[in-house]
């Protein structure tokens, strides 16, 4: 059930550095949005970050997210699960890991149908010599999650969470995750002030979400799992603003250092832009950056609600003391463009 909410002046504030995308009604004005919860989770240590990632390879966005993750020296990538996990896909991912000396890490398959289209042309162009993995190199995705996830590990999900819900169903409370950082979900007018809504989502309360999938029960099982310490969602209303275009690419070229991560990320972006010069939406890369630099997002604690095959968010109910109930589920309502661009122009802290 959704209710229209109003926002008092105390709940509104100007976020410096925030910009409205071109399809907003006033691209020249700063966004006015709700005060957000931007504190890093307790599962985001300043030292090494243990991470398990779920990804697919139909959109180059997931690969760029993986390279962004590996470009940060704090990250320790423990394992990967590929959806659906064909031999070609796993072989490709091994080729992506090779420059980092990580082709040995466990890779699981999420399961499901997959054909040649599971590896899109941009990947084939950037990694022309990759070979399909051998059957013995591919593990069961659920087993990989159970083995390598724990209360101090962040699970980054840029694909369907079905394998997560299946692991929860099989292992119950013994399956623990410190934090789930996921690209998906939708925050509509009941959570996001009018000034903060993209035109394409104006006045909407629910919307389809590709990664959340068409089976609400699977996603709800993930959201309800008490052994996931926190769920952090990068929603459509934010990630559809974030693009990587010519100006940012030129800045990246000028600022790039000789680290393997930056060199490899730039190489793949350069290869992609030879055939796709238009700005690229960076949904999953923003998801990863929200882990590496949490202050890039402005988020609100919410309840996620499904209506049919669509999803929306509602603010938690108030307790008798006037404070909202804790849900441990946070969804983005805005982002700081200056922090996003700082990653590529050499000004990040």
CATH number, domain at 306?
3.90.245.10
Tokens 């922090």: give the residue.
Answer: 339
Compute the mean pLDDT over every residue in the chain, rounded to the nearest whole number: 85
Query: How many structural domains comprise the chain?
Result: 1
Per-residue pLDDT, 148 = 98
Q: What is the mean pLDDT of residues 263-282?
A: 96
Per-residue pLDDT, 112 = 84
What separation in angstroms does the CA of 148 have from each of 81, 144, 170, 188?
11, 6, 16, 34
Instruction: Classify residue 4: in a domain, yes or no.
Output: no
Q: pLDDT, tens digit, for every residue of 326-348?
A: 999 999 988 888 999 998 987 76
Confidence class for position 261, pLDDT limits 50, 70, 90: very high
Contacts of 66 (CB under 8 A, 6+ apart): 53, 55, 80, 93, 96, 288
Closest CA to 109 of 80, 67, 132, 68: 80
Q: pLDDT, tens digit, for every residue of 238-247?
A: 878 889 999 9
Per-residue pLDDT, 200 = 86
Q: Which range has the worst mean pLDDT, 99-108, 278-287, 318-327?
A: 318-327
| CB 91, CB 133: distance < 8 Å | yes
Beta bridge pairs of residue 215: none
Q: pLDDT, tens digit, for every residue of 6-55?
A: 333 333 322 323 332 333 322 222 333 334 433 333 345 567 899 999 99
| CA 219 – CA 29 distance, rounded (Å) | 36
Instruction: Classify residue 2: in a domain, yes or no.
Output: no
Q: pLDDT, tens digit, for every residue of 181-220?
A: 999 999 998 888 777 788 888 889 999 888 887 678 889 9
Instruction: Classify residue 3: in a domain, yes or no.
Output: no
High-pLDDT (> 90) share of the chain, % = 63
Contacts of 248 (CB under 8 A, 6+ apart): 341, 344, 345
What separation in angstroms does the CA of 313 have from each of 157, 216, 306, 320, 344?
19, 14, 9, 22, 31
Q: pLDDT, tens digit, for every residue of 123-160?
A: 999 999 999 999 899 999 999 999 999 999 999 999 99
Provide the CA 87 distance to its chain's centre, in angstroms.
Answer: 24
| CA 313 – CA 304 distance, rounded (Å) | 5
Q: What is the pTM assigned to this prediction?
A: 0.87
DSSP codes, 236-264 = HHHHTT-EE-HHHHHHHHHH--S-HHHHH
Per-residue pLDDT, 46 = 61
Boundaries of domain holding 122: 9-345
Instruction: Classify residue 1: in a domain, yes or no.
Output: no
Give me Rg for the CA atoms of the chain.
20
Per-residue pLDDT, 280 = 95
Per-residue pLDDT, 237 = 78
Instruction: Classify residue 97: in a domain, yes or no.
Output: yes
Per-residue pLDDT, 18 = 31
Model confidence at 2: pLDDT above 90: no
Closest CA to 63 of 88, 87, 86, 97: 97
């Amino acid at each position: 059930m959704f209710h229209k909410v109003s926002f008092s002046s105390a709940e509104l504030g100007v976020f410096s550095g925030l910009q409205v995308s071109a399809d907003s009604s006033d691209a020249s004005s700063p966004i006015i949005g709700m005060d957000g919860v931007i504190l890093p989770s307790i599962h985001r240590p300043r030292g090494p970050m243990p991470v398990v990632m779920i990804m697919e390879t139909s959109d180059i966005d997931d690969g760029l997210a993986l390279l962004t993750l590996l470009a940060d020296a704090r990250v320790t990538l423990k394992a990967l699960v590929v959806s659906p996990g064909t031999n070609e896909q796993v072989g490709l991912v091994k080729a992506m890991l090779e420059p980092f000396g990580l082709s040995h890490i466990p890779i699981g398959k999420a399961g499901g149908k997959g054909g040649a289209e599971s590896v899109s042309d941009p990947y084939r162009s950037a990694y022309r010599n990759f070979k399909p993995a051998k059957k013995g190199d591919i593990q069961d995705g659920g087993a990989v999650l159970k083995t390598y996830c724990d209360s101090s590990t962040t699970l980054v999900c840029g694909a369907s969470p079905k394998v997560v819900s299946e692991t929860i169903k099989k292992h119950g409370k013994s399956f623990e995750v410190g934090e789930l950082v996921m690209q998906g979900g939708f925050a509509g007018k009941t959570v996001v002030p009018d000034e903060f809504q993209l035109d394409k989502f104006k006045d909407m309360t629910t919307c389809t979400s590709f990664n959340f999938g068409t089976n609400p029960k699977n996603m709800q099982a993930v959201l309800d799992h008490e052994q996931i310490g926190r769920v952090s969602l990068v929603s459509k209303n934010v990630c559809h603003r974030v693009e990587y275009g010519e100006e940012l690419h030129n800045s990246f070229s000028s600022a790039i250092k000789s680290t393997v991560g930056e060199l490899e990320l730039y190489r793949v972006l350069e290869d992609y832009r030879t055939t796709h010069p238009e700005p690229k939406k960076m949904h999953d890369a923003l998801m990863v950056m929200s882990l590496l630099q949490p202050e890039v997002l402005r988020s609100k604690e919410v309840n996620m609600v499904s209506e049919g095959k669509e999803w929306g968010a509602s603010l938690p109910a108030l307790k008798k003391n006037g404070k909202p109930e804790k849900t441990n589920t946070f969804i983005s309502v805005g982002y700081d463009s200056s922090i996003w661009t700082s990653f590529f122009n050499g000004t990040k802290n």
